[in-house]
Amino acid sequence: MRALVTGGTGFIGSEVVRQLLAAGHNVSLFFRRKDAPALFRGRVEAAQGDLEHPQSLINAMDGADVLYHIGEIKNTSRAAAAKNVTLIDEVLKNVTRKKLKRIVFVSSITVAGIPAAVPATEDTPAAITLHDHYTDYKRTAEKMLGGTGGHIEYAIIRPGFVYGPGSRHMAGMIGIIRKLGPIGIPFPGNANSAAPLIYVKDVAAAILQAGTEPLASGQTFNLVDGSRHSWRGLLESIAGHLGTKLRIVTLPRLLLHLSALPIDLVSGYFGARLDAISYAGYFSSELYFDSTKARNLLNWRPRCSLEEGIREMTEFYSRKEE
């Protein structure tokens, strides 16, 4: 298989590229520069282009069997979200002409919102739908893929909260726990609610399989490791591996809503919709998803436990600080 990968130098994308290469696939890396990054130099073909210019991605699709669309234009504003939607639209218009066999689109578990029942499947309706620009773009792209009438093969992966080595978000969280853990880290609710966690290598394995498994065509997968983890469990595991104490300061939901309201108002004024009010309740809700569909149709199983993943992640960042 010849795979074209966007976002292949990012946290999730770079792991997908590593696993594609390990499986013997040919990889074309959509990249702004003429040469592939040092990490993959000599092992991948560099397809120069920019997601801001859809035609460059369309040109890069020549000869590819599967497009793994993991990258995106930084999506914090209405304008960026619109550009991401336009990119999907242009790709779909040219898939047949380019003879691409399948598109694997990496969406987000936030599209599923706060589920009305748990454990939630891909068919469980949302009790509360999130409407930030990032989630709206992902939701719109999913609808566009699903609206092709079966003429274009696609698979949609909605990763949960991805952790592991290389995440700038997790690096920031580790830094906060080191500095503030013993003093107190504020968290919405009591942090005992279910958290949709998934290790980066397990996410990458599922994304790869979504491009090769026949049964994945036309399917959407909520991707989590299937265990009921809590946010407290995640934070305590990180603190334990760092050798530091952790105190979680519970923030009442009413206080969260009051503080989120001005954030929504101000962000809207600057063209960015954060939906802070909904997210205030999001992290204190039961976000427990069933991954049976991914297990059955992708022939996929998560390989890494939370403790193993946290240990590998914290060791990675400790080495970087040495």
Q: Categorise residue 7: left if φ over 0, alpha if ψ from -120 to 50, beta otherwise.
A: left
Is the model's pLDDT at 277 over the cut of 70? Answer: no
For 200, the enclosing helix (H) or strand (E) is helix 200-210
Check: CB of residue 194 under 8 Å from CB of residue 244.
no
Tens of pLDDT, residues 302-313: 999 999 999 999
What's the rounded Cα separation, in Å, for the pair 109 and 287? 9
Give the domain range for residue 311. 2-321
Check: CB of residue 249 under 8 Å from CB of residue 187.
yes
What's the rounded Cα separation, in Å, for the pair 57 and 278? 34
Tens of pLDDT, residues 160-219: 999 999 998 899 999 999 999 999 988 877 889 999 999 999 999 999 999 999 999 999
- DSSP secondary structure, 142-196, as one string: HHHHHTTTTSS-EEEEEE-EEESTT-HHHHHHHHHHHHHTTT-EEEEBTS-SEE-
Query: What is residue 274's predicted lDDT score, i.e. its pLDDT?
Result: 56
Is the model's pLDDT at 264 over the cut of 70? Answer: no
Tens of pLDDT, residues 100-156: 999 999 999 999 999 999 999 999 999 999 888 889 999 999 999 999 877 899 999
What would the two tokens of residue 273 be? 């919709």
Query: What is residue 97's predicted lDDT score, i.e. its pLDDT?
Result: 83
Between residues 51 and 249, the one the model is more confident about: 51
Query: What is residue 237's predicted lDDT score, i.e. its pLDDT?
Result: 96
CATH number at residue 200: 3.40.50.720
Residue 30: closest CA among 74, 62, 1: 62
User: What is the share, in percent, of the chain residues with pLDDT greater than 70?
Assistant: 90
Tens of pLDDT, residues 54-105: 999 999 999 999 999 999 998 767 889 999 999 999 999 998 888 899 999 9
Is the model's pLDDT at 48 over the cut of 80? Answer: yes
Q: How many domains does the chain have?
A: 1
